[in-house]
Chains A and B, each alone.
Chain A
Amino acid sequence: MARLEIGQIIAVLKEKLPEAVSEEVLDGVDPVIVVKAEQWAAVAELCRDDSRLGFDLLSCITGVDYPEREEGAEIEVIYNLDSTANLHELTVKVKLPRSDPRVASVEGTWATADWHERETYDLVGVIFEGHHNLVRILCADDWVGHPLRKDYEPPDSFHGIKNVIY
């Protein structure tokens, strides 16, 4: 198969799932599409299995907290997809509500999502539904809170070890 431009990639997605892509931001360094949270699992399967797309590599999952945004879209999960066969790439964003950020796990689509989703859960607090072992990966198991939320306050001490020095 051949390398596709971003417009062609979006066309393939819309051909199979016409409702999934809610927003396109194509003027940045990386062209970005925003996918509805409830459609993300289907989009992920399509991205991997359609031979024209052939996104066989999930490079990264990132979670970002934007508390100043309108309600219902404060937390963004960003997926960077690559195709080693077709040599194109795609950045997919899913916007979630801050009160209850839930999105389907894509662990079954790309195995590498396992640890990346655990990290995003640990630091930003996104719940990946269907993940087989959604526990903290970086912080200690009994850590409280999600440190990369903008309103996070670190504890004064942890297990008797003082955490404030100044």
Chain B
Amino acid sequence: MTEIENRNPDPLTKNVVLMTAVDDIINATRANSVWPLTFGLACCAIEMMATGAAKYDLDRFGSGPFRGTPRQSDLMVVAGTVTHKMAPRVKRLYDQMPEPKYVIAMGGCVIRGGPYVKHGYHVVKGVDLVIPVDVYIPGCPPRPEALLEGIFKVQKLMKREKILDRTRRTTKPEVYQPV
């Protein structure tokens, strides 16, 4: 028993409960009910809609109810070119989401400005200059299969959460690698 007590860092629950099984259960429910925010900025959003629609059917994988408010969402798919005018709005939506929250950067524009990287005076050169990003999906736009793979990556990250951990776990982004 002593080993487990030492591993629990939270003074409130130290010596009181064993959290491992609880983590697994909460993470399983969380990872199998990912609620993305209804939020599209440009053409990548069309692929995001296709992913949610009948042919690719995101609901098969325990995600898909696109929520109309950031307060009910745990995943933000930044789909489309982020302009300097839009950046503060993206930041505000991100700030309104409850923890733990995840961000997918979908498409070349969101990752590093895409075709606008040199002459696009109005484009933010990567949304990770504004909000932290967990998974990057390259493509212009990425195919729905790529977005599905990105959501699987997010589900993997969700399964690593610990409820006693009050800080954000995933500071280092995972990069989606096309096979």
Contact = CB atoms under 8 A, between A and B. Distances in A.
Interface of A: 138-140, 143, 147, 152, 154-155, 158-159, 161-166
A159 B88 CA distance: 9
Contacts, number: 36
A147 B120 CA distance: 10
A164 B113 CA distance: 10
A161 B121 contact: no
Given A140-B84, A140-B85, A162 B121 contact: no
A164 to B, nearest CB: 8
Interface stretch (B124-132, B133-141, B147-155): B124-132
The interface centre, meaning the residue of A155, A161, A164, A165 with most chain B CB atoms within 10 A of its CB, is A161
Interface residues of B, number: 15
Interface in B67-91: 84-85, 87-88
A147 B117 contact: no
A166 B124 contact: no
Most chain A CB atoms below 10 A, which of B87, B88, B122: B122
Contact of B85 (A139, A154, A162, A164): A139
B122 A147 contact: yes
A165 B121 contact: no
A158 B125 contact: no
B84 A166 contact: no
B124 A161 contact: yes
Nearest to B112: A165
A163 B121 contact: yes
A97 B149 CA distance: 55
B109 to A, nearest CB: 12
Nearest to B118: A166
B121 A147 contact: yes
Contacts of A166: 117-118
Contact of A165 (B85, B87, B113, B130): B113
A165 B117 contact: yes
A161 B117 contact: no
A128 to B, nearest CB: 22
Interface centre among B84, B112, B118 (most CB of A within 10 A): B84
Given A161-B87, A165-B113, A154 B121 contact: yes
A155 B121 CA distance: 8
29 contacts: A138-B122, A139-B84, A139-B85, A139-B122, A140-B84, A140-B85, A147-B121, A152-B121, A154-B121, A155-B121, A159-B87, A159-B88, A161-B84, A161-B87, A161-B124, A161-B129, A161-B130, A162-B125, A163-B84, A163-B121, A163-B124, A163-B125, A164-B125, A165-B112, A165-B117, A165-B125, A165-B126, A166-B117, A166-B118
